[in-house]
Amino acid sequence: MCGIAGFIDSKVTDGDKILSAMLEKIAHRGPDASRTFIKDDVYLGHNRLSIIDLSHDADQPMHLQHLTIIFNGEIYNYLELKTELQQAGHQFKTKSDTEVILHAYLKWGKDCVNRFMGMWAFAIWDQQQEELFCSRDRFGIKPFYYIHQSPAFYFGSEYKALKPSTLFSNNINTTQVSRGLQMGWTSYHDETYFNKLKALPAAHNLVFSRRDGTINISRYWNIHTGKYLSLTAEEKAGQFYQLFDESVRLHMRSDVAVGSCLSGGLDSSAIVSMVQHQQPGLPYDSFSIYYEGKGDVDERPFVKAVCDMFPSLQPHYFSPTDDDIREHFHHALYHADVPATGSSFISQYFLMKLIAQHKIKVVLDGQGVDEYLAGYNHTAYRMVADLLASFQWGKACSLTGKMAENLQLSATQTFAHFGKSFLSLLRSEQQLYSLEYKHYFPFLSTDDSIPFSLDKVPGNRTDNFLYHLMLDTSLPTLLQYEDRNSMAFSIESRVPFLDHRLVEFVFQLRNEDKANGIYTKWVMREALKDVMPQAIIERKDKKGFVTPGEVKWLRGALAHLTDADFSKLDFLNRKKIKTLMDEYKHGDNKHALLIWRLCTLAYWHKNFC
């Protein structure tokens, strides 16, 4: 895990100083070494966080024949690839996965990325072809931003790495601001909060040609939907177990200590339990955040259930106080790179801070599985709609009733739940999200178009919903915060549920394998029922990373944010905002989340643009 930055610009002066400034902006990503490569108009820089092969032989930029690489991430199957390459005659000088990428590129060219299992954002300068080959992993776990203004090309791991560039402009992308305010998305495809700053989309390669100053971007992988496996329930559970077991084994590869986030929920508990199952008695650190108070979430009893099952676990806890929130908010938002679309990123920030205090450099986390295994309650709308579409009205009503009982809905709320399911039967994902978007529309005053397009993919309504959660709506935002919060403390965060083979397998399962009645992630529960505590397997509630932020913090530790000055945000409807803010200050919490987004947008714009 590292920070990368670089550019190719024949017109630049003081290029070495610009590169140094870019690296300084992201020094937190790699405190163990910082190196550069400068030749003619090619400038490449790397800040290293040493995880695999701790020797300086593995420092970057790394060279092989006519190739030079800077790489952020981990290729978990690098040992298997290395063996294959050695059998083909390749000789290695280090024990690093970085050198494996270089040799893989020599042998297989740009197709090498199809063989990688891991997370990555890298750039390879090919002196012979005069091309910069860049790639980002399948789910966008690792970030890659760039500015292209022919004949120049600049790139880096974070927004802030590009700000020293001569091409950077802080002109705001109001379309992305709108998505952030109204949908909670921090990114969309190649767009960022700045007009000139682009993101390389997940599962894409980019080639910049120095000869003509052009870029070519192409997708190398996608999730395929609509084809279902004909396996028994036991076979499905067995295959899930096998794939998850292998993913965790690969994600545990490290030359430094590894720990785990542990919320007490199904996902993080599954990872910790599998690690302990694979290596019984392994001394292993887990880290948890909790809150105490009326209405706050404290999941320590579920964490304790995992610790009781595995006595070699060493749990660590932290509960942020109001003083902690007030003191660290600025630093957390600085590292986030974007306005905060929810308050849970603050909890994750303190979680990573706790991990760093215990000198752990690699941590496993449970991101991703909610998105493809129907972990969110609103997935039920699409599942009921699929039952209605196949004329299984009895099962549709039964599922609605079970959800209503589990969520403790009133009769009116239950009817509304069924109504949303019926709407999901009649409308596409694009239409459903457009309706949600228009609900908050008055806050932008210049454009009434819908700033996203969710194409229909093969398969049923649930497949379409989960596909877009993975690639468009939910996961990209979660991964943005995962990367920034962990790297703020020089920690490599790994996400075993995002092994692409596991994701591909689950997308070949039917709805009932993903959720069975009120139990979400059904195949996962069945696969791991002998590995995890029964209390976790039988959990019906879905807490997420719940914090008291949007109400309690904005009325307490962060109350000063509600006095934000919106005068410089002239693309917003300030009259409407004033009305909402006044209502909130007089005790109306109906739009608390939107108030949070508005306040943090104003703070971000004032302090970090």
151: preceding bond cis by omega (within 30 degrees): yes
Q: Is the pLDDT of residue 253 over 90?
A: yes
**Top-confidence residue, 20 or 516:** 20
Confidence band (pLDDT; 50, 70, 90) for 237?
very high
Scanning 298-410, the segments in alpha helix (DSSP H) are 300-309, 322-336, 344-357, 369-372, 379-389, 393-407
- DSSP, collapsed to helix, strand or coil, labels residue 33 as strand
Instruction: Find, among 133, 138, 79, the residue nearest to 105 by Cα.
Output: 133
Is the pLDDT at 207 greater than 60, yes or no? yes
Using 50, 70 and 90 to split pLDDT, how confident is the model at 546? low
Average pLDDT over residues 248-259: 97
Q: What is the mean pLDDT of the chain?
A: 94
* Res 228: pLDDT: 96
| Average pLDDT for 330-352 | 96
Tally the C-alpha atoms within 13 A of residue 568's C-alpha that lie toward its C-beta.
12
Q: Which residues of 292-316 are buried (b: 16+ CB within 10 A; e: fewer)?
A: eeeeebbbeebbebbbebbeebebb
**pLDDT at 542 exceeding the cut of 70:** no
Taking the C-alpha atoms of residue 334 and residue 350, their distance in angstroms, rounded to an integer, is 14
State the average pLDDT over residues 340-348. 94
Q: Name the residue with higher pLDDT: 572 or 503.
A: 503
Domain ranges of the chain: 2-219, 233-372+474-537, 379-470, 549-608
pLDDT at 37: 98
Class of domain 2-219: alpha beta
Residues 599, 604, 606, 609, CA torsion sign: negative
pLDDT at 295 over 70: no
**Quick one: CA torsion of 538, 529, 361, 24, rounded to 10 degrees?**
-60
- Residue 149, helix vs strand vs coil: strand
Do 38 and 194 form a contact (C-beta atoms < 8 A)? no
2 catalytic, yes or no? yes
pLDDT at 449 over 70: yes
pLDDT band at 573; cut points 50, 70, 90: confident
Q: Choose among 452, 475, 466, 478: nearest CA to 188.
A: 452
Helical residues (DSSP H) of 157-260, grouped into ranges: 159-162, 174-183, 233-251
Give me the mean pLDDT over the 194-209 stretch: 98
Q: How confident is the model at residue 180 (pLDDT cuts 50, 70, 90)?
A: very high
pLDDT at 547 over 80: no
Q: What is the pLDDT of residue 403?
A: 87
pLDDT of residue 544 exceeding 60: no
pLDDT at res. 352: 98
Residue 243 confidence class, pLDDT cut points 50, 70, 90: very high
Determine the residue type at 45. G
Give the pLDDT score at 576: 86
Chain mean position to CA 329 = 20
- In this prediction, residues 110-116 reach a mean pLDDT of 98
**What's the average model confidence in pLDDT over 262-291?**
96
Which numeric CATH code is attached to 233-372+474-537?
3.40.50.620
What SS3 state is found at 188? strand
Q: What share of the chain is helix, strand, coil (3-state, %, to 5)?
A: 45, 15, 35
- Find residue 72's DSSP bridge partners: 121
pLDDT score for 444: 58
How high is the pLDDT of residue 146?
Answer: 98
d(CA 407, CA 121): 41
**% of the chain surpassing 70 pLDDT:** 97
The percentage of residues in the chain with a pLDDT greater than 90, rounded to a whole number, is 87
Whether the per-residue pLDDT at 436 is higher than 80: the answer is yes
Sheet strands side by side (includes 204-209): 62-64, 67-75, 118-126, 131-136, 204-209, 215-219
- Which residues lie closer than 8 Å to 220 by C-beta, 6 or more apart? 110, 111, 113, 114, 135, 203, 204, 205
In the predicted model, is pLDDT for residue 4 greater than 70? yes
Q: What DSSP letter does each residue of 301-327 carry, written as one string?
A: HHHHHHHHH-TTEEEEEE---HHHHHH
Tell me: the pLDDT tens digits for 361-402? 999 999 999 999 999 989 999 999 999 999 999 999 999 988
Q: What is the pTM of this model?
A: 0.96
Distance, in Å, from the CA atom of 43 to the CA atom of 58, rounded to the nearest integer, reads 19
Annotated catalytic residue, options 2, 112, 134, 307: 2
pLDDT tens per residue across span 484-533: 999 999 999 999 999 999 999 999 999 999 998 888 999 999 999 999 99
- pLDDT for res 447: 62
| Secondary structure (DSSP) of 449-507 | S--------SS-HHHHHHHHIIIIISHHHHHHHHHHHHHTTT-EEE-GGG-HHHHHHHT
